[in-house]
Structure 1
Amino acid sequence: MVKWGRLITAMVTPFDEELNVDFEAASSLAIKLVEEGSTALVVTGTTGEAPTLTEDEKINLYKIIKDSVDVPVIAGVGTNNTKITIENAKAAQEAGVDGLLVVTPYYNKPDQDSLYCHFKKVAESVDLPIMLYNVPGRTGCNILPETVEKLAQIDNIKALKEASGNIIQFAEIIKRVPGDFLVYSGDDSMLLPAMSIGCYGIVSVASHVVGPEMKEMIDAFISKDTEKAKEMHLKLLNIFKNLFVIANPIPVKAALNLMGVNVGGLRLPLTEARENVLKILREDLNELGKI
């Protein structure tokens, strides 16, 4: 079983005023997240604006974050091109990361047999543990439970980030995979319901903002204090929802900036949050005592 813990944060990539990667701010943010309960960090995932980062920027981020924190660093390396995904995976491994997050190929819509072949080929190219990432709302491609079951037999495919939003699919996957294969929620609002059927933890966006509270909720559930876990879930529900009121990571970057954690703006094709979104976030952050 991989030792990535239950609260993994999918990190934003901070930019300076010229939208260059702010490596010093990235290091500071990583330290903050770990201090607030994150047990591992995903770097250059969707939340980290990976499609707009250069290869050199990604490698430098891996190295700097690895040097900054004492928890596993997982590199987002997936694309819709198997050859490029393998190149990314090898480069991340050489840079010293601890694991890989590999999203389903987007746009070209491979069928289930093709998905199996894609992930198998990537897994065979590296020695690192791999977390599959299923997010059909973004990719137009859904890994079915039977395909996850087959992929879980491959030695270094160790986990799944499941962001389908389908609790029945969640349950079917957990029913099919071996006990040492970890299934993580990819949706903050699904964490507690998913843990009730055997989900191990979360790859989170909201932990940028409410990391200590999420750790408290997870700990309460694990210690069988389900009433407290429920109360925490309901307390955090608005921020879970509103961090996705428009495309991630627009709201979470806005929330961090409102909290005084300067992570800068976004690279096109994403643009900064408008006033209607900022108003919602201010209300949520005030209610939670964050600003």
Structure 2
Amino acid sequence: MSKFTGTGVALITPFNEDNDVDITALEGVVNHCIEGGIDYLVVLGTTAESATLSSEEKEVVKQTVIRANAGKLPLVLGVGGNNTAGVINELQASGLSGFDAVLSVSPYYNKPTQEGIYQHFKAVAQASPLPVILYNVPGRTASNMLPDTVLRLAGLDNIIGIKEAAGDIVQAMRLIKDKPEDFLVISGDDMLTLPMVLAGGAGVISVIGQGVPEQFSRMVRLGLEGAAREAYDIHYNLMDMVDMAFEQGNPAGIKAVFKALGLCRDTVRLPLVKADNDLQARIVAFVEQNVRLV
């Protein structure tokens, strides 16, 4: 599954002044990622504000990305939830044509045991017509998918990797150390991307990477090649940008980056709110000094 090695990005959903999906801006974001050297695109993940999109809007987003991408990059679709039967129904009812894999988050709010997490993903993998990438993000789900559970799941057919976003480099290294050879350990934390890649990870599904695709994808490529010193030069240059992107929540920060780039508005849907004026000013200053403007 080398198509998911390197830099993937979790696409935002731009909104226009009426708070509707901005199709033109979304096309522009996709093109920005393609031209910047991104390796694959993730559609309708958390960063896309999928929790606030209607089923009709989700279909608009999917078709817009498919059309704008025009087969250039592999596509991953976010399909997850805390109702196992509901996730299975969505997988079976969704139009998955044009997608290469699904990204499925660990069940949130319910706080299942490790056995419950295992059984959930076993059922999802059996039902999915596409390969499944697990997503562990305890900060959002309130439960950590432990390495032993992930390694059990890695032995099942149709589960090809994990987006690991526990923010714990030691946990990530345990996965990398003990995983099957063809199982992908993908960073879900922009700040830990390079250390994970240098430890043997497969790359990243990034937020900030879609805003600064040239720099971020080059950093990951250098890391995969073992060019640590050169890769860390880029990492340290981007650290302040990563901090700012998450300072007031995701995707408020990355949308402020796109506003500074002139690619879309910074509108987010409630209960999220846009970045405040101070943060926006700092993001604009960074972009003007460090990023090629559109």
Q: TM-score, normalised by structure 2?
A: 0.94
- Please report how far the alpha carbon of residue 235 of structure 1 lies from its aligned counterpart in structure 2 after TM superposition: 0.8
> 1:263 offset after TM fit, Å?
4.0
1:169-188 paired onto structure 2 within 5 Å: 169-188=171-190
Is 1:250 matched with 2:252? yes
SS at match of 1:41: strand
Letter in 2 for 1:285: V
Counterpart residue identity of residue 169, structure 2: I
Q: Is the 8 A contact 1:16 1:264 kept in 2?
A: no
Aligned pairs (5 A) from 1:67-146: 67-69=67-69, 70-146=72-148
- Counterpart of 1:164 in structure 2 is 166
Contact between 1:99 and 1:128, CA under 8 Å: does it hold in 2?
A: yes
Q: CA RMSD in A?
A: 1.5
Shift of 1:247: 1.1
Deviation sequence 1:113-167 (CA, Å, 0-9, x none): 0000101111111220111001101111110000000101111110100010101
Q: Distance in 2 between matches of 1:34 and 1:260?
A: 17
Which residues of structure 2 form unaligned runs of 5+? Answer: none
Check conservation: 2:198, 2:226, Cα contact below 8 A.
no
CA–CA distance in 2 between the matches of 1:43 and 1:94?
Answer: 12
Deviations along 1:243-275, one digit per CA (max 9) or x if unpaired, are 110110001001101111114511111111111
Q: Deviations over 1:202-234 (max 9, x none)?
A: 101111221101122122223332211111111
CA contact (8 A) 2:255 2:266 kept: yes
| 2:35 is equivalent to residue 35 of structure 1 | yes
**CA shift at 1:35, angstroms?**
1.2
Provide the residue aligned with 1:63 in structure 2.
63
Cα distance 1:77–1:193, how it changes in 2: closer, same or farther (>3 A)? same
Local SS of the residue matching 2:3: coil
Q: Shift in Å at residue 283 of structure 1?
A: 2.9
For 2:274, the aligned partner's letter is E
Secondary structure of the residue that 1:100 maps to in structure 2? strand
1:26 maps to 26
1:102 alignment partner, SS class: strand
Percentage of pairs with the same residue: 37
Any conservation in 1 of the 2:28–2:263 contact (CA below 8 Å)?
no
2:170 maps to a residue whose letter is I
Q: Distance in 2 between matches of 1:277 and 1:89?
A: 38
Letter in 1 for 2:50: A
The CA distance in 2 between the partners of 1:158 and 1:289, in whole Å, is 34
Question: In the alignment, what sits opposite 1:53?
Answer: 53
2:221 alignment partner, one of 219, 222, 225: 219
Quick check: 1:59–1:91 contact (8 Å CA) kept in 2? no
Alignment check: 8 A CA contact 2:160 2:182 kept: yes
- Residue type at the aligned position of 1:253: K
> Alpha-carbon deviation of 1:95?
4.3
Aligned residue pairs, count: 291
Residue identity matched to 1:32: H
Does structure 2 retain, via aligned residues, the 8 Å contact 1:123–1:157?
Answer: yes
